[in-house]
Every structure is written in structure tokens, then in C-alpha cells.
């Protein structure tokens, strides 16, 4: 209750900031009438003020004039009860060139296109997509030499630097957790991610097969995009920055699991840009309640994590799913993560920070196939434009 009042307050503060914004093009043509957070297969209502982007609609995209392309990555053949930790996807296909990606959504499917999730053992634990700014290699795709060169490229990156971790070899641009929420960059203003000819994507993907049979998985990403030359793209620009606030700073995001109620702090970032806070959501693992983003130590966004609202996020131990709880008891995983859009402005020198609240007595930590507790995470992407 307290947090929903705080959240309402934050919305009002954001609305006040909104009226002072300049130098941005409102994306007034985005049809937000169709926003219907509870129109999916949810089994209970979302909390008040929970902002949930509607799924990417391949037939009628939210942005008029936009196109949607679903790109399939993989396959990964996984034995039962196994984890594929941060596998690289090198030279991954881009959905378009000379275009602005305005929204995207990840999913995990099997070879028949059937969605794989907690209820049948398939986890898209997380994926992180990076831009590798290098003309594509013209070598046969799966030769050892090419794979080696792509790995070198992936780990050295060329010409692109990450916003909050310039020390990293690549520039992080997209990410998703298993809740597979939509990231939308043009909720209020005309911003997108620009893909230029010659751009190449790389990703890391962490998958789990907690089921009892071997599976073949593919990750799909549905991109909503505007071709640069289309009239609908008029006024669009690339966002200015996407700082990644992470509990491990520029590390690998894994934080050793702990039981109980506690907070995990992400390492703050001092802004090097000026602009609107366009979109943010927290990425956590099961056990977390919410992620709060602070601007100069004042809370400006609460990204809430809701568990088991859709049937595919409920598993029963001993069945073909995964259980963190008691034998035979249903276990719920994060099914919905709320996003904040247009929640203020940053100036150069401002501090952005984030805190993730965990309470493992309310939601158990996930377990590895060997029964040990899985590492937790606390990170957030903040798109600024
Ligand atoms: Cu993760």
C-alpha cells in the first residue's frame, strides 16, 4: 500500500517534469488506447499503477506505420536438468538495417514454435544483446576460425563503448529476463535504436532446461521497427544513452544468493548526458519484490515484480517443471515486471542509482539443477533520450 502511494506520488512528480520537457518529439501517433495491461492470460489483476507494455503485436503494431519482424536465434540442444550459462550468440541477425527499433520482446520456443517456460521447464533466464560495430565477417559461418574470430570480436569490440561501463568491450543495447516483458523506447517521444548497414549484433543467452526430457530451444526476438525512409519515421532519433546499473558494477551481474529480507544496491552512474528518462525496468531473479531507481538519491521509478500471474509461470515440483519450494507444492516465478516511462530528466553530473528489494521468505530463490541456490541479480537498464 505504502509503495503504491509512493508510486502514485512519483507519477505526479513525473507528470510535473513532463510539462517542462523540450527538444523532444512527442510520439503522439502511438496508439496507447490499446494499452490493456490485463488483457493477457493473467489469472489475477496487476497491482495499481503497474505499467505493463502490451505484447508486441505482429499483426497491428502499436506504432502506426511500424513493421514487426520476429527473428529466431539458436538452436540450443539441452539435456534435461541443465543450465547453459551465458552462451554467446555471435553475428546474430538484425531485423532490419537503416531502421529504428522502437520496441522489442524476447521469447523461448522449441523446434515446433511452442513457447517454453517455467511450466514445461524452459527458462530464458536472461539475454543481453550488444552491438558490435564491425562489418560482418565474410567467412563460412560455423568454421572454427570464424567462431574464434567472432569470439575475439565479441570480447574486444571495435569502435563501440558501453555507456556506464566504457571498460567493457561491447555496447549493451537490449536485454530481457524470463518474464519476457516488452521494452518500448517510443512510449512518449520519438526515440528508437538505430541500426546502420554493417552493424552486427552479439548476445549472451542463459537458458535452463529443468524438464525431464532433452529439448531443443530457440530464442526469438520480435522487433517493432520503422524504416528510416518511411514517413512514419519522421522526427525519430536514436536514444542518447542506456546506462546499465548493476550490483556488480561492470562485472558479470551474478551476486551470491542469500536467504531472508534484504536490499541489493546497484553501483551508481554519474550521467554523462542530458535527456529524458524514457524507459526503465529492473532485472532480478526470483526472490525480489521490486527495483527502485533513484535520481540524485530521490526515488523516481519503482519497477515491481509480480509472480505466477500467468499459468506458464507456475510449476510443481516433481512434475515437468522446476520447484524452489516444497515437494509437490506449486512454485511461482516472476511473470510480470513493470516498467517506468518518461519519469523525469537527467542532467550531466546527476547520479542514477538502483536498489533491489529481496525477500526470500515471500518468494524462494531459484535452484540450480544440482539443488544449490542460484545467484541473484540486481540490474536495470535506463534509456535516456
Ligand atoms: Cu539474470
Q: How many Å lie between the centroid of ligand 1 and the Cα of residue 129? A: 13
What residues make up the domain containing 156?
A: 2-384
Centre of ligand 1 to C-alpha 127, Å, is 8
3-state helix, strand, coil in the chain (%, to 5): 10, 40, 45
Which single residue is written with the C-alpha cell 516433481? 318
* pLDDT, tens digit, 9 for 90 and up, residues 154-199: 555 454 678 998 877 678 899 999 999 999 999 999 999 999 887 7
Q: Whole-prediction pTM value?
A: 0.85
Task: Please tell me whether the peptide bond between 156 and the residue prior to it is cis, using omega within 30 degrees of 0.
Answer: no
> What is the whole-number distance in angstroms between the Cα of residue 229 and the centre of ligand 1?
36
For residue 297, the CA-to-ligand 1 centroid distance in Å is: 25
Q: Do 100 and 228 contact (CB within 8 A), yes or no?
A: yes
C-alpha cell at 144: 572454427
Site of grid cell 512519483: 10
Asked if residues 202 and 88 have their Cβ atoms less than 8 Å apart, the reply is yes
- Quick: pLDDT tens for 264-320: 999 999 999 999 999 999 999 999 999 999 999 999 999 999 999 999 999 876 444
Q: What is the pLDDT of residues 308-359, one digit of tens each?
A: 999 999 987 644 444 444 455 678 999 999 999 999 999 999 999 999 999 9
- Distance from the CA of 142 to the center of ligand 1, in angstroms? 28
CB 196 within 8 A of CB 150: no
Cα 230 to middle of ligand 1, angstroms:
36
pLDDT of residue 234: 95
Q: Are 340 and 51 in contact (CB under 8 A)?
A: yes
Nearest to 49 by CA among 290, 366, 385, 240: 290
Q: How far is the CA of 294 from the centre of ligand 1 (A)?
A: 21
Mean pLDDT of 17-38: 52
Number of folded domains that form the chain: 1
Q: For residue 283, give Cα distances in angstroms to 59, 147, 324.
A: 28, 29, 19
- 340: CA distance to ligand 1 center in Å? 19
Alpha carbon of 6 to ligand 1 centroid (Å): 27
Amino acid at each position: 500500500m505504502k509503495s503504491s502511494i509512493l508510486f502514485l506520488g512519483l507519477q505526479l512528480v513525473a507528470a510535473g517534469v513532463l510539462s517542462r520537457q523540450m527538444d523532444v518529439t512527442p510520439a503522439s501517433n502511438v496508439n496507447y488506447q490499446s494499452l490493456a495491461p490485463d488483457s493477457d492470460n493473467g489469472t489475477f489483476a496487476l497491482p495499481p499503477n503497474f505499467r505493463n507494455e502490451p505484447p508486441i503485436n505482429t499483426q497491428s503494431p502499436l506504432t502506426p506505420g511500424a513493421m514487426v519482424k520476429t527473428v529466431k536465434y539458436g538452436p540450443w540442444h539441452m539435456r534435461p536438468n541443465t543450465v547453459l550459462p551465458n552462451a554467446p550468440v555471435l553475428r546474430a541477425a538484425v531485423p532490419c538495417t537503416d531502421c529504428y527499433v522502437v520496441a522489442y520482446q524476447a521469447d523461448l520456443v522449441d523446434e515446433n514454435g511452442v513457447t517454453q517456460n517455467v511450466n514445461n521447464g524452459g527458462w530464458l533466464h536472461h539475454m543481453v544483446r550488444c552491438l558490435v560495430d564491425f562489418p560482418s565477417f565474410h567467412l563460412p559461418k560455423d568454421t572454427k576460425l570464424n567462431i574464434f574470430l567472432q569470439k575475439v570480436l565479441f570480447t574486444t569490440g571495435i569502435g563501440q563503448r558501453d555507456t556506464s561501463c566504457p571498460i567493457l568491450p561491447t555496447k549493451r543495447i537490449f536485454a530481457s529476463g524470463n518474464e519476457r516483458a516488452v521494452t518500448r523506447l517510443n512510449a512518449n517521444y520519438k526515440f528508437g535504436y538505430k541500426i546502420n548497414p554493417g552493424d552486427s549484433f552479439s548476445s549472451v543467452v542463459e537458458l535452463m532446461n529443468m524438464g525431464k526430457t532433452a529439448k531443443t530451444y530457440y530464442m526469438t526476438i520480435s522487433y517493432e521497427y520503422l524504416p528510416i525512409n518511411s514517413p512514419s519515421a519522421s522526427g525519430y532519433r536514436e536514444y542518447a544513452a542506456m546506462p546499465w546499473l548493476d550490483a556488480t558494477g561492470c562485472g558479470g551481474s551474478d551476486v551470491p544468493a542469500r536467504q531472508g529480507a534484504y536490499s541489493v544496491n546497484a553501483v551508481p552512474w554519474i550521467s554523462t548526458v542530458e535527456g529524458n528518462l524514457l524507459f526503465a525496468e529492473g532485472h532480478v531473479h526470483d526472490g525480489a519484490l521490486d527495483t527502485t531507481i533513484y535520481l540524485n538519491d530521490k526515488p523516481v521509478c519503482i519497477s515491481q515484480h509480480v509472480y505466477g500471474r500467468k499459468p506458464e509461470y507456475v510449476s510443481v515440483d516433481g512434475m515437468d517443471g522446476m520447484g524452489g519450494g516444497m515437494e509437490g507444492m506449486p512454485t511461482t516465478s516472476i511473470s510480470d515486471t513493470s516498467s517506468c516511462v518518461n519519469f523525469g530528466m537527467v542532467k550531466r553530473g546527476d547520479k542514477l542509482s538502483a536498489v533491489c528489494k529481496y525477500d526470500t521468505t515471500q518468494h524462494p530463490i531459484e535452484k540450480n539443477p544440482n539443488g544449490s541456490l542460484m545467484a541473484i541479480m540486481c540490474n536495470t537498464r535506463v534509456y535516456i533520450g
